[in-house]
Amino acid sequence: MQNINTYIYSRIDTLEEAIKEAWKRKFYQEHWGHKSLDDVINIVRSYKYHTLPVTRKHDLRDNWDNIMCFDGAIDVVSSSGTTGRPVDIPVHKEEENVRVEAIERWLHALGVNTGDKVLILLSMNDLFTLGVLSWQAVKKRNACAIRCSVNRVDRILQIIEHLKPKYVIGNAGPMIRLAEEAGDRWPGHDLLPKKALLGASAVFDQDLNPTPALKKLKELWGFDDYLNTYGSSEIGAVSDECSYHQGLHIHTDHQMIELIDLKNGLPLEDNNQPGELVITGLNLPRGFIPIRYATGDIVAWIKHESCPCGQITPRMGPIIGRVDHQLKISGQTVFPDLLLSLADESTGVMRSAVQVKSEKYGEDEVTLLLVIDDNFNKKEVKNNVISRLDKNLSISPKVNVISSINLLTLEKKASKNTNQVKIPRIFDFRKGI
């Protein structure tokens, strides 16, 4: 297997350029703790790049004036933060071109061509990035963009009936909810878009099997094909799927990627195990230059073997959790996403969420919330979920049945300060988070 370091040092010239630019930002000079740029370059050349400290989102928040550059910026994007000052990222013209091109490649891979109608169900507002990038990319392919908020059920039904879009771009969770809310009015598969581009949706598990969310989405929308992508407002598009669905191909022309150990922060020797995704951006100029930017996303694996599609770029596995969402139950670390997928795979469970409160002694009080289909016996479904948890985890959280209206209230409360692109599934009431 190719070592991740070999992969990093194949791009050393470009990496040095990015570091030289980053050195001009006061934050990095202080953060790296070296006297001169030459010292930092020597570290890179002596194969010790991994000793530069990672930068995290809170660094961006706390040192915003000393890390962002607005000269040449033409847009501002921001991720969906729930606490503290939002981290707003200036995007330069050249950088936006790179971001749009990445989406264009993705549209090309799915077959979007001149004149094709593409329904975009992503937010065009609130500094959200993927919506406006998709809009530009669709037009660059000479296809026809149809923008609609995913919350406008009636309008979307009209669009599907009269304009008949062939493609749709959206997020799995809101798209499932849209079809469910439409109920009997939801059109048959022959009337719906045939192919989908999914933004940062959990569509496959670490063994590359489809997730319950994807199965549900396909059942409701009846796609012939779909492609998934991963990216963030800080970085832009990072990776996307090919039609073989063997993980997400990393855009190595614009990024370098590492996985670091969740416990000690050191680079993982074996990329077949989960680690935190750390990204270095190589394209310049940029409003924010990510140098060893620790995303907080935990990726199941990185594979370096070539893909059946012929591409030789490394592929990353699914995001299996967030560093800041790790829960402590009876001294053990548990990821809420694992609890959610075990619940979602259980028959009779329509929807699920995780609620977290602080307990004493650094432990978390974790409750798995289930919305159960009225056609099923609630007690039986709940017991089935509990036994699945028992089989897969050595410790178990509490499990409560909740009505869909109560879950909706929790979701609305949790997404009040976000751009409402994703449906929240973790309600974190711990202090300080």
Residues that bind Zn ion in the complex, under the rule CB under 5 A: 242, 244, 307, 309, 311
Nearer to Zn ion, 61 or 304 (CB): 304
Report in angstroms how near the CB of residue 307 gets to Zn ion at its nearest.
3
Nearer to Zn ion, 9 or 244 (CB): 244
Report in angstroms how near the CB of residue 313 gets to Zn ion at its nearest.
8
Phi, psi angle pair for 167, to nearest 5°: -125, 155
Nearer to Zn ion, 314 or 424 (CB): 314
Nearer to Zn ion, 245 or 351 (CB): 245
Nearer to Zn ion, 242 or 389 (CB): 242
Strand partners, 13: none
Report in angstroms how near the CB of residue 254 gets to Zn ion at its nearest.
18
Report in angstroms how near the CB of residue 242 gets to Zn ion at its nearest.
3
Residues 6 or more apart whose Cβ sits within 8 Å of residue 360: none
Nearer to Zn ion, 306 or 347 (CB): 306
Report in angstroms how near the CB of residue 271 gets to Zn ion at its nearest.
17
Nearer to Zn ion, 242 or 369 (CB): 242
Whole-Å CA distances, 417 to 173, 301, 406? 18, 32, 19
Nearer to Zn ion, 60 or 316 (CB): 316
Report in angstroms how near the CB of residue 245 gets to Zn ion at its nearest.
8
| Pair type for strands 319-322 and 315-316 | unpaired
CA angle, residues 320, 11, 278, in degrees to nearest 5:
25
Strand partners, 277: 259
Residues 6 or more apart whose Cβ sits within 8 Å of residue 168: 118, 119, 120, 121, 175, 192, 193, 195, 196, 197, 221
How many Cβ atoms are within 10 Å of 234's Cβ, its own excluded? Answer: 22
Q: In what order do the strands lie in the sheet with 315-316?
A: 144-147, 117-120, 167-170, 195-199, 225-232, 236-241, 248-250, 315-316, 302-303
In whole angstroms, give the CA distance from residue 303 to residue 247: 9
Report in angstroms how near the CB of residue 244 gets to Zn ion at its nearest.
5
Strand ranges (DSSP E) for 317-377?
319-322, 327-329, 332-334, 349-358, 364-372
Nearer to Zn ion, 214 or 385 (CB): 214
Residue 390, Cβ density class (10 Å: 0-12 exposed, 13-18 middle, ≥19 buried): exposed
How far does Cα 56 stand from its chain's mean position?
16
Report in angstroms how near the CB of residue 249 gets to Zn ion at its nearest.
6
Residue 72, Cβ density class (10 Å: 0-12 exposed, 13-18 middle, ≥19 buried): middle
Report in angstroms how near the CB of residue 287 gets to Zn ion at its nearest.
31
